[in-house]
């Protein structure tokens, strides 16, 4: 009988292209384990009153009906009611101290079905696996998702279950600096994990230096396990991009994608999406400059906050690949591109699986810069998330260089991606080894 995993951080239902990594991770784990329960990534990012509030005046089942009636039928905000509940003592069960979080979970699980489900599924599992992804950044204030992971490690410890943190990056926040309280909590909790796997060398070095008691190792992102998918004719695209458009098929998207001729893709980024007006101006200049290379340019909405790209597309007369496009099709599009420019981590991996050279834009952490090292680029340059003027000129020069290298650079990137694929496949055996050891 396969050991049962309670899987934390399942992002398969997210519009973010990183959902591919969650699908790939589940596929790998399912070869040797049974995933008996999971917590979707959305569960700890939704409005707190949806899933995470405790001490409410009314049970959650009534609250959900109340919210539906008010917001869907009366078209009114629920915010005033949440503020009323807070005045009466309602609070998020997640706290900066993971012991407080789990005390809240245990105390209120009888009134909150989501908390009860988490507790019951964790209790019934043989091990707990947390997909850290890109959420463990020690920002101030702390990310709720990072605090949720701490709570789940604490829950596993109390239930005497082996806990594994996998597929993760860990870093300070480049904007707010290091949140020492959160970092100290992680140092304490990670040493209680059976094993921790980091997906990039910077994160590994960080943990080895700042949290030396952690049993950690480097295993590339689970998305590299999809390497074989993009090495066959099955990943070829239809000549007309209209065949790839997802529901609802927006009229303004029709007739803008032609995959019968070489093309370049440009994607968004979390940092850029945080300043959509500035991003629109910056990306419009970038697209105009890249178009001068003589290729069609298509924009990739790698996550819903990248929606500013639709305005750029309209201004520049180029096509857009929506975030809701089938993830395998998304991968086929960027892996067959001549070049990919983006501030997104997983879309850049998808591009690399087909040998597409990437130009990395800035992010909220070292994600992009570290990926250039994982993929063994000669130059580890991370451009600004919002490139301007002379920096755009540098991007164009680098793009021209990559395009001129043609199949030679593509073959080299594919070879490195294959090595990362083979390394990524070792994760299930590592879990088994530490589970039985």
Tokens 């959902």 sit at which residue? 19
Residue 335, helix vs strand vs coil: helix
CA separation (Å) from 184 to 35, 167, 178, 204, 234?
Answer: 31, 21, 10, 17, 47
Summarize pLDDT for 249-301 with one digit per residue, the tens. Answer: 888 889 999 999 999 999 998 888 888 899 999 999 999 999 999 999 999 99
Q: Is residue 333 within 8 Å of 299, Cβ to Cβ?
A: no
Q: What are phi and psi of 154, to 5 degrees?
A: -60, -40
Instruction: Give the phi and the psi of residue 36 in degrees, each rounded to 5.
Output: -85, -15
Q: What pTM did the predictor assign?
A: 0.92
Q: Print the SS3 string covering 197-227.
A: EECCHHHHHHHHHHCCCCCEEECCCHHHHHH
The pLDDT value given to residue 328: 96
Cα–Cα distance, 60 to 52 (Å, whole number)? 10
What single-letter DSSP state applies at residue 142? Answer: P
- The confidence score (pLDDT) of residue 68 equals 65
Instruction: Tell me whether strands 91-92 and 53-54 are parallel, antiparallel or unpaired.
Output: antiparallel
CATH number belonging to the domain at 4-224+424-436, selected among 1.10.246, 1.10.3470, 3.40.50, 2.30.30: 3.40.50
Residue 107: per-residue pLDDT = 93
Q: Where in the chain are all domains bearing CATH 3.40.50.2000?
A: 227-422
SS3 annotation, 289-320: HHHCCCCEEEEECCCHHHHHHHHHHHHHCCEE
What is the pLDDT at residue 47? 43
CA 212 vs CA 206, 215, 397, 432: distances in Å: 9, 8, 42, 23
Fold classification of 227-422 (topology level): Rossmann fold (3.40.50)
Residues (pLDDT < 50) of the chain are 45-49
Q: Which secondary-structure segment (H or E) carries 34?
A: strand 34-40
């Amino acid at each position: 009988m396969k050991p049962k995993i309670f899987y934390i951080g399942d992002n398969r239902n997210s519009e973010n292209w990183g959902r591919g990594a969650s699908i790939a991770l589940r596929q790998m784990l399912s070869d040797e384990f049974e995933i008996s329960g999971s917590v979707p990534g959305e569960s700890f990012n939704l409005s707190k009153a949806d899933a995470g509030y405790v001490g409410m005046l009314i049970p959650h089942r009534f609250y959900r009906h109340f919210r539906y009636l008010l917001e869907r039928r009366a078209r009114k905000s629920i915010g005033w009611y949440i503020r009323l509940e807070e005045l009466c003592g309602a609070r998020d069960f997640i706290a900066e101290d993971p012991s407080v979080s789990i005390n809240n979970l245990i105390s209120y699980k009888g009134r909150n079905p989501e908390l009860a489900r988490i507790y019951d599924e964790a209790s019934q599992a043989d091990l707990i696996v947390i997909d850290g992804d890109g959420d463990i950044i020690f920002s101030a204030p702390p990310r709720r998702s990072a605090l949720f992971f701490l709570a789940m490690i604490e829950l596993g410890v109390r239930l005497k279950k082996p806990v594994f943190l996998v597929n993760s990056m860990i870093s300070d926040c480049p904007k707010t600096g290091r949140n020492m309280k959160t970092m100290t909590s992680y140092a304490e909790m990670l040493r209680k994990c059976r094993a921790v796997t980091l997906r990039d060398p910077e994160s590994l070095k960080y943990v080895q230096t700042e949290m030396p008691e952690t049993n950690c190792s480097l295993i590339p992102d689970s998305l590299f396990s999809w390497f074989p998918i993009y090495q066959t004719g099955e990943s070829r695209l239809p000549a007309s991009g209209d065949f790839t458009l997802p529901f609802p098929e927006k009229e303004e998207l029709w007739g803008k994608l032609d995959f019968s001729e070489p093309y370049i893709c440009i994607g968004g980024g979390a940092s850029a999406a945080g300043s959509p007006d500035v991003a629109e101006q910056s990306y419009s200049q970038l697209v105009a400059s890249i178009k001068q290379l003589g290729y069609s340019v298509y924009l990739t909405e790698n996550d819903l906050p990248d929606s500013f790209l639709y305005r750029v597309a309209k201004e520049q007369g180029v096509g857009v690949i929506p975030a809701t496009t089938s993830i395998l099709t998304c991968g086929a599009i960027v892996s067959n591109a001549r070049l990919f420019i983006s501030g997104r981590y997983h879309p850049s991996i998808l591009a690399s699986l087909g040998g597409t050279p990437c130009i990395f834009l800035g992010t909220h952490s070292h994600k992009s810069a570290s990926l250039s090292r994982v993929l063994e680029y000669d130059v580890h340059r991370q451009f600004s998330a919002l490139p301007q003027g002379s920096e755009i000129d540098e991007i164009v020069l680098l793009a021209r260089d990559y395009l001129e290298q043609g199949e030679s650079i593509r073959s080299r990137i594919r070879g490195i991606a294959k090595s990362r694929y083979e390394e990524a496949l070792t994760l299930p055996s590592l879990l088994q080894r530490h589970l039985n050891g």
